[in-house]
Amino acid sequence: MGKIILITGGASSGKSEFAEKICEQLEKPLNFKDRLSKKDNICCDIRNNYSYGEYIDDRLLKANRSNVVYIATGIPFDEELKSKKEKHIERRKNKGWDTIEEYENLDKLFYSKKFDYEIVLIDCITMMISNLMFQDDVNFDAGNTENRNEKRKEILTEVEKFTKSIKSKKSDFILVTNEIGMGVLPSNKLSRFFNEVAGEINQILAEISDDVYLVVSGIPMKIK
């Protein structure tokens, strides 16, 4: 098992920049033979209509050209998120890292024999939770708690498979998440439910992590 590093903090606190700096510190230069066989870094989305396992192997065969892979979990559904995505891509464009856009079934990706990256940066866990929570048409504000309990169980199962898979790898994993729920208690059920689930998952990830950093105003503080 490699090292697991969790980076948490508020929105636009400098978490991603700090995570990328850690990756650069951990990154090992490719030897000359590897460089001859590896071309430009590419961005791929592994969601499609093909057989999931087979297509993962096929895409990794084409994408695995670097020591580092950036796994982007966000789905840019509006102009603001699209702009943020482009900003992140611009910041990484000269690093030569591979990028995979996906938020679910990451365990299948990591278990693939062709997934042999030394450093894996996942940005971010909170967006992964959000996408898993809202990928179905569920009314979380309704009085019935059964839907919320079922969705919570579903997300925690996904996270359990995710954590089990990263603990089985020799790769170093850098996980970026948001520290939410530090303000006023939300007035609606949906926001409270999201805070509870995200907070619970952050605790699970912090427990299995070797190091945990809290980033405030661009300043990282090691808290574990």
Q: Where are the alpha helices (DSSP H) in the chain?
A: 15-26, 32-37, 52-63, 79-92, 106-111, 125-134, 146-167, 189-208
Q: Which residue has the higher pLDDT, 64 or 205?
A: 205
| Higher local confidence (pLDDT), 76 or 37 | 76
SS3 of 41, please?
coil
Q: Return the pLDDT at 38.
A: 44
| 3-class DSSP assignment, residue 61 | helix
Say if CB 7 and CB 175 are below 8 A apart: yes
> Regarding beta strands 43-45 and 219-222, do their DSSP bridges make them parallel or antiparallel, or are they unpaired?
unpaired
Residue 63 confidence (pLDDT): 52
The tokens of 45 are what?
């989305």
Residue 80 pLDDT > 80: no
Spatial separation of the C-alpha atoms in residues 175 and 133, rounded to whole Å: 19
| pLDDT beyond 60 at 101 | yes
Q: Residue 162 pLDDT > 90, yes or no?
A: yes
**pLDDT value of residue 124:** 94
- What share of the chain has pLDDT > 70, as a percent? 79
Q: What is the mean pLDDT of residues 54-80?
A: 69
Query: Is the pLDDT confidence value at 209 over 80?
Result: yes
Nearest-angstrom CA–CA distance, 196 and 213: 21
Place of tokens 């509006």: 78
Query: What would the mean pLDDT of 12-27 be, rounded to a whole number?
Result: 93
85 closest CA partner among 98, 99, 71, 74: 74
Tokens of 132: 């898993």
Looking at the domain 4-26+41-222, which fold is it? Rossmann fold (3.40.50)
Residue 53: pLDDT above 60? Answer: no
Confidence bin at 129 (pLDDT 50/70/90): very high
Mean pLDDT on 88-117: 86
Q: Which of 171, 170, 160 is nearest to 207 (CA)?
A: 160
Q: Where are the domains of the chain?
A: 4-26+41-222
The pTM assigned to this predicted structure is 0.82
Residue 99 neighbours by CB distance under 10 Å: 20
C-alpha torsion sign, points 211, 177, 27, 115? positive
Mean pLDDT of 21-25: 93
- H/E stretch holding 145: none
Token pair 């670097």 in the structure block, residue: 66
Higher pLDDT, 148 or 91: 148
Strands 43-45 and 98-101 turn out to be parallel
Strand arrangement, sheet containing 172-176: 43-45, 98-101, 68-72, 119-123, 172-176, 4-9, 211-216, 219-222
